[in-house]
Amino acid sequence: MNNYHIYDKLGRGKHSTVYKGRKKKSIQYYAIKSVDKDQKARVLQEVRTMHALDHKNVLKFYAWYETTNHLWLILEYCVGGDLLSLLRQDVKLPEASVHDFARDLVVALQYLHSHSIIYCDIKPSNTLLDENGRLKLGGFGLSRRLSDINKTPYQALPQAKRGTPCYMAPELFSDDATHSTASDLWALGCVLYECAMGRAPFMNSSLTQLMQDILHKEPAPIPSASPEFGDLIMRLLDKNPATRMQWGELIAHPFWQVALPRVEMPPEPMLQAFIAKYNLAPAQDEQAGDGGGSGGGAGARGG
C-alpha cells in the first residue's frame, strides 16, 4: 500500500471503510477499500469474483493487498457516489431517469447471470455512478457462483450472508430457499420501485413483520407510472419465482422501447427443484401464448 496516497473517506460499513486514493506519481484515482483482517475469507471470495469480470456496468477491480491488520482492495473510483445517496438527495426520480438507470442495471445483471454469478444483494448502496451518470454494480461480498450454490445450501449461510431483508425475494424466507436469477430479478424490481417512489416496496422496522409483508402484501402502486413501467414492476415483484418475469420476457419488455440483446443463460437445478417441490409452476394452459418471453406476452400477463 506504500504506492498509494489515501485521501477522503467515501463510506463505511460494518467491517470496511472506503477511501478516495491516488497512485503515487500518477493522476489516476481509485476507490480504496480497507477491510478488517478477520473478513479474509469473504474478501478473497469477492476478489475471485471481481477479478474475472469485465463489463462497462460492473465496477472494475484492479488489485488487492494484505497488511498487518487489514486487507485492501483497489477499485474503480466513481465520482457520482452511490444510488442511495442520490435518492436521499432527490427522494424519487422521473420515469425517464429510472428507465436509463434500469437499463444499466439490467445489462450488468444479465452479464453476471450469463457468467453463472448470482449477485444476491442488489440494493441502491451497491450501485455506483460514474462521471457520465452510468450505473455500475459493485460490492460483490455476497455474490455466489451457481456451482457454489449447488454445493453449499442456503441454510448453511449465516443470516448476514443471505441478503438485505427488504430486497429479499419471498422464497428466500423459506426453510429450503436458494439464491437464483429469479431472486436477483425480484431485488431489481425493488430497486426500480424505490427509484420511482423514494422508498423500497416493503419496509418495516420489525424483521418478522417485514417478512410477512413481503410474503403476503402487495406493494402500493406507483401513481405516475406508465402502463409499461407499471407492468414491468408488477412482473418483477411476482411473489412466485416460477411465474416471475424471466430473462426472455425482461429483455423484450416494451418498457425498453428497443429490446435488449438476448444472452444464453445457464441451467439452475436448485431453483427448478425448489419450484417442483412446492408445485409453483403454472399449469400448461397458463403458459400457452407466452411466445418465448415476448413483450406482448409480458403485457398480456401483466393485465
In Å, how far from its chain's centre is CA 204? 20
- In this structure, is the dihedral angle defined by the CA atoms of residues 267, 175, 188 and 288, taken in order, positive or negative? positive
In a domain, 290, yes or no: no
In a domain, 292, yes or no: no
In a domain, 139, yes or no: yes
174 and 234 in a common domain? yes
DSSP string over 201-229: SS--SSHHHHHHHHHHPPPPP-TT--HHH
CA-nearest of 232, 227, 158 to 191 is: 232
In a domain, 296, yes or no: no
Distance between start and end Cα atoms, the chain: 56
Q: What angle do CA 80, 84, 85 make, to 5 degrees?
A: 55
Which residues are part of the catalytic machinery?
121
How far apart, in whole angstroms, are the C-alpha atoms of residue 34 and residue 18?
6
137 and 44 in a common domain? no
Residue ranges of the annotated binding site are 33
- What pLDDT score was predicted for residue 180? 97
How far apart, in whole angstroms, are the C-alpha atoms of residue 239 and residue 224?
23
- What pLDDT score was predicted for residue 37? 94
In a domain, 61, yes or no: yes
- What pLDDT score was predicted for residue 121? 96
Please list the rounded mean pLDDT of every run of 10 residues in the chain (303 residues). 92 90 95 94 92 97 95 97 96 97 98 98 97 95 91 82 95 92 99 98 97 98 96 98 97 95 94 93 61 37 36
Residue ranges of the annotated binding site for ATP are 33
In a domain, 204, yes or no: yes
- What pLDDT score was predicted for residue 153? 80
Q: Which domain holds residue 17?
A: 4-76
Task: Tell me how many domains the chain contains.
Answer: 2
168 and 49 in a common domain? no
CATH number at residue 70: 3.30.200.20
How far apart, in whole angstroms, are the C-alpha atoms of residue 78 and residue 127?
10
145 and 187 in a common domain? yes
92 and 154 in a common domain? yes
- Can you name the residues that pair with 127 across neighbouring β-strands? 137
- What pLDDT score was predicted for residue 285? 56
In a domain, 303, yes or no: no
- What pLDDT score was predicted for residue 298? 36
Domain boundary among 41, 59, 76: 76
- What pLDDT score was predicted for residue 152? 83
How far apart, in whole angstroms, are the C-alpha atoms of residue 183 and residue 272?
13
27 and 54 in a common domain? yes
110 and 29 in a common domain? no
CA-nearest of 225, 220, 226, 245 to 235 is: 245
In a domain, 244, yes or no: yes
Domain boundary among 20, 44, 76: 76
Q: Which amino acid is at 54?
A: D
Domain boundary among 30, 48, 76: 76
124 and 256 in a common domain? yes
14 and 161 in a common domain? no
171 and 229 in a common domain? yes
